Structure 1
Amino acid sequence: MWHLWALELPWLEPEAALTAWGNAPWCAFLDSGGPVDARSRWKILGVHPKHTVFVVNGLLHKDGAVQAESSPQAVFSALRHALPAQPQGARHRPYDLPFYGGYIGFFDYHFGMQCEAVPSRHVKHDQPDCAFGFYEQVFVWDRLEKRAFLAGFSDNAESKLETLRLYQELWNTVGCADTPARVPRLVFTPDQTRVAYCAAVKRAKQYIAAGDIFQVNITGRYAAESEEPLDDLTLYRALRHAAPAPFAAYLRCGEAYALHSTSPERFLQLDAQRYTCSRPIKGTAPRGKTDEEDRVFAQSLAVDEKECSENLMIVDLMRNDIGRVAEIGSVTVPEFLKVERFAHVHHLVSEVRGKLAEGQDVFDLLQATLPPGSVTGAPKHRAMQIIDELEASARGAYCGSIVCIGVEGQMESSVIIRTVVRHGNSLHIAAGGGITALSDPDKEYAEMCLKIAPLLAVFGQEL
């Protein structure tokens, strides 16, 4: 029988703990940044997972051993299997923490294509479709109240004491290490030219005019190769310093692969009362150089017909996806077309809520909704077919989702955007936007450049 436990610790800056443990092969750091609010209050660090589950080259691996050929059903079954059975009755929570252990990892866009039964013409080798660590204990930091905890659900006393000893040593010797880091100067090459990107947008508009779709997300990717080994901590610190975000994350999935994300976008949250919430982002405008210019950009975005219609269609898509597994009549839109400010852009953000139907769990919710609707289009299945036709390369992790599933069945997740992917000595970044009947190809290319420029700037490159 398991139980939740938590020990309050003396405050230590989370970045110091990341310095100490960040190079562990399966280090997972959920790193809320920017202004503190309900969506960016907590930071969570997990190291040395009890189990690992990942899919690469079509094979499902658990704890390093090949289990079977992969399918979404096989993956969700493997993830379910490691979660301990829920006991009857309410479970005592010693503190109101968001996470007491469980899974931290990601699903890539290709995994979402499998969930939607959409084949791909693009090939990607040796990069995971998904990767998760199962953590029996984690560090949790409360940014609002400046409190730190070690939390978990297993009675592994030896592991708990060893972790506490290491934390105490760290507290005695290490300060905050969150300083701008020097990263290698690299040249990123796009997977398509400006002319090709604009041609893809024009073709997408033809599909819209023909009635195939209402909207589709067209993206472009950039890649660079480093002659020297790349340090994940250095990469992540530089990215986070340039663009702090409420859903930032650092995931090392073994030695050869890592995600460095400064995502501003929640995908899905599932709470203890079985209510799920999605906050799709669609609609973009630049930040101003002055307060007045910033205000004008925000006001213009709020009434822009093309940007608002883009957001509306994704709200309808998310209502449909959540409705697949929600109680009838429970799906609502409590926030619609709200302008939110981020480090480099304004975005239009809406909120969709629903309550899981009886007999449905967090994995049913993920299978019904992956990949995120804000980065596909509407109708979703046809939009994904068109994406695969028009885009020049596999999306990989980009447009997938980073997911944290607690031992109690709760979940927080983000959309993988504003993210640097490291695979060996290769780096990949990407950006894009929603295409509607009102889209102008040159403006869509400019929006893509606006989103990707801060990522390129980290490595000293200008568009």
Structure 2
Amino acid sequence: MSVGYAHELPWREAEDVLAALDGEPWLACLDSNGDIAPRGRWTIICRDPVHVVTVRAGRCFLDGQEQATASLELLRNLVPTFRCPVEVPFAGGAIGFADYRYGQRHHGLGTRHVPDPQQPEFVGGIYDHAIVLDRQARRAWLAGYGTAEIQARHWRNVKHLWARIVADAPIAPIPPVSFVADCAPTAYRQAVSRARDYIAAGDIFQVNITSRMWGNRPAGLSAMSVYRALRQTSAAPFGAFLSCGRDFALLSASPERFVALDLDGNVSTRPIKGTAPRDPDPVRDRQIAQDLRLDEKECAENLMIVDLMRNDLGQLARIGSVRVPELFNVEHFTHVHHLVSEVQATLLPGHDAIDLLRATLPPGSVTGAPKHRAMQIIDELEHSARGPYCGVVFRIGGDGAMDSSVIIRTLVMTRDRICAAAGGGITILSDPDREYDEMRLKVAALLAVFGDTTQRGSGDD
């Protein structure tokens, strides 16, 4: 197996590197931000992909040409094989996302909702180099693989980029945008009540109910400017910026790891279920966190998703290897406290990251349990297509290692519109008013980037 390379660069802040790359059409940034070590350490920036795999309306394309091969299998064939240099976690491979509809297809489920034609269901870019920033050590690398000629070209390009970087580059002012929700508050509460009815009838144990809000995209508004504003106000360990062509960008401040796979076949997932607001008073803030840890409804919600993820990982795990080393831990983010657990397993021989994605999409923390029935109920009760929201951002390296995040706390920008979304897990103990308030709390930080805090619904009451 060949070995990738890592050449050290002068340190630059991720914020300033991103500013210099504004407007690049196939830019991928995986942006571990915030203060939760070790998940707030690395920023990985990739540009100029060698290949791009996309799925639109169930049809798979490679570099614009339709393919008979399924997208994940195609991705497996395209990811190069090489040993990642020890200095960095990623030196090339695949970066992309799979949206919620993509997961529905894998479960053989249809939908009553009409998707946005400007939004792809799946994108996977194959990158042969990456700029990698270590926030903890304040060190930077150009890492990649390929011939000496390819390395020299990448080195020239990154030196040109470094020369363009301006320290403390200002963010262009974000114009105000008003957002309108896909349903009125009463309709959201009614969906929660109907979900509880399904739980009481024994159809499901838990289900995630969400809502989307749309605003018109102002002419000339840079997706990168919006992302830079978002990462300043909502630092997150699994932030991401994916620019897929000129007319689509995904801007994520996700706090949630989906599944990670290391070189020894160890798998981990960290489902989030349970939310409470932060308080500026430290004493009250600690009490809110403690109350969350002891909340019967929130703990029940978290436990059911832990069981679901144990089942999902168990499909490909060595017998006896599935374990829960962390249960009901409270983690603290910019705007909220979250109840987080961890499930670990060891992958069976002969399986890889592609198999793991195929077995676990879409994430259980944003569907419900049992997953298949919960997804049917979601399609019945929600008022619009989820699109990328509740899907997965992933990276798969040439060494076979993978990390991924759940697409929550995320903005989606198309040529004409901006979409924000939020939701929450519903159990038999859920209160519709409280669930609506939690959804509003989660989406507020996204809308505040544009100065909108109203979240009006169609037929708002």
TM-score range, shorter chain: over 0.9
Instruction: Give 1:396's aligned residue.
Output: 387
Tell me if the contact between 2:261 and 2:403 (Cα under 8 Å) persists in the aligned partners.
yes
Change (3 A) 1:289 1:12: closer
1:450 maps onto 2:441 in alignment: yes
Any residues of structure 2 matched to 1:52-63 within 5 Å, and which? Answer: 52-63=52-63
The normalised TM-score by structure 1 is 0.95
* Residues in 1 aligned to 2:124 and 2:85: alpha-carbon distance in whole angstroms: 26
Tell me if the contact between 1:194 and 1:445 (Cα under 8 Å) persists in the aligned partners.
yes
* Residues in 2 aligned to 1:246 and 1:178: alpha-carbon distance in whole angstroms: 22
Instruction: Give 1:198's aligned residue.
Output: 189
- Give how far 1:148 is off: 0.7
Instruction: Give 2:71's aligned residue.
Output: 75
Change (3 A) 1:295 1:179: farther
Matched residues, percent identical?
53
What do residues 63-110 of structure 1 show as CA deviations (whole Å, max 9, x unaligned)? 121224xxxx71111101112357xxxx4x543311010001100000
The SS at the match of 1:266 is coil
The one-letter code of the counterpart of 2:118 is D
The SS at the match of 1:267 is coil
* Residues in 1 aligned to 2:153 and 2:276: alpha-carbon distance in whole angstroms: 49
The one-letter code of the counterpart of 2:451 is G
The SS at the match of 1:117 is coil
* Residues in 2 aligned to 1:239 and 1:148: alpha-carbon distance in whole angstroms: 23
Change (3 A) 1:321 1:250: same
1:139 maps onto 2:131 in alignment: yes
- Give how far 1:181 is off: 4.2
Say which of 173, 187, 199 aligns to 2:178.
Answer: 187
- Give how far 1:160 is off: 2.6
Any residues of structure 2 matched to 1:277-296 within 5 Å, and which? Answer: 277-296=268-287
* Residues in 1 aligned to 2:17 and 2:121: alpha-carbon distance in whole angstroms: 28
The one-letter code of the counterpart of 1:429 is A
The one-letter code of the counterpart of 1:117 is G
What do residues 35-68 of structure 1 show as CA deviations (whole Å, max 9, x unaligned)? 1611111110100010000111222110121224
What do residues 175-211 of structure 1 show as CA deviations (whole Å, max 9, x unaligned)? 3346454212111000000010000000000000000
Say which of 428, 432, 446 aligns to 1:437.
Answer: 428
- Give how far 1:221 is off: 0.4
1:151 maps onto 2:143 in alignment: yes
* Residues in 2 aligned to 1:267 and 1:37: alpha-carbon distance in whole angstroms: 17
The SS at the match of 2:375 is helix
Instruction: Give 1:462's aligned residue.
Output: 453
What do residues 112-136 of structure 1 show as CA deviations (whole Å, max 9, x unaligned)? 1112222111111232111111000
Single out whichever of 218-227 and 342-351 deviates more from structure 2: 218-227
1:219 maps onto 2:210 in alignment: yes
Any residues of structure 2 matched to 1:7-406 within 5 Å, and which? Answer: 7-35=7-35, 37-68=37-68, 74-85=70-81, 91=83, 93-124=84-115, 125-155=117-147, 157-172=148-163, 174-177=165-168, 179-406=170-397
* Residues in 1 aligned to 2:278 and 2:171: alpha-carbon distance in whole angstroms: 23
* Residues in 1 aligned to 2:407 and 2:228: alpha-carbon distance in whole angstroms: 17
The SS at the match of 1:316 is helix
Change (3 A) 1:159 1:84: closer
The normalised TM-score by structure 2 is 0.95
Tell me if the contact between 2:80 and 2:93 (Cα under 8 Å) persists in the aligned partners.
no
The one-letter code of the counterpart of 1:29 is C
The one-letter code of the counterpart of 2:71 is V
The one-letter code of the counterpart of 2:414 is H
Single out whichever of 1-10 and 373-382 deviates more from structure 2: 1-10
Tell me if the contact between 1:36 and 1:144 (Cα under 8 Å) persists in the aligned partners.
no
Change (3 A) 1:173 1:385: closer
* Residues in 2 aligned to 1:450 and 1:428: alpha-carbon distance in whole angstroms: 16
Change (3 A) 1:94 1:443: closer
Cα RMSD after superposing both structures:
1.5
Q: Unpaired segments of 5 or more residues in structure 1?
A: none
The SS at the match of 1:104 is strand
- Give how far 1:8 is off: 1.1
What do residues 263-307 of structure 1 show as CA deviations (whole Å, max 9, x unaligned)? 011001100111110000000001012001101100100100000
- Give how far 1:171 is off: 3.6
What do residues 399-447 of structure 1 show as CA deviations (whole Å, max 9, x unaligned)? 0000011011110100000100011121111000000000000110000
The SS at the match of 2:88 is coil
The one-letter code of the counterpart of 2:212 is R
* Residues in 2 aligned to 1:374 and 1:284: alpha-carbon distance in whole angstroms: 13
1:427 maps onto 2:418 in alignment: yes
Tell me if the contact between 2:81 and 2:399 (Cα under 8 Å) persists in the aligned partners.
no
The SS at the match of 2:96 is strand
- Give how far 1:453 is off: 0.8
* Residues in 2 aligned to 1:78 and 1:162: alpha-carbon distance in whole angstroms: 27
The SS at the match of 1:30 is strand
Single out whichever of 1-10 and 329-338 deviates more from structure 2: 1-10
1:415 maps onto 2:415 in alignment: no
* Residues in 2 aligned to 1:189 and 1:416: alpha-carbon distance in whole angstroms: 21
Instruction: Give 2:457's aligned residue.
Output: none
Q: Unpaired segments of 5 or more residues in structure 2?
A: 455-461
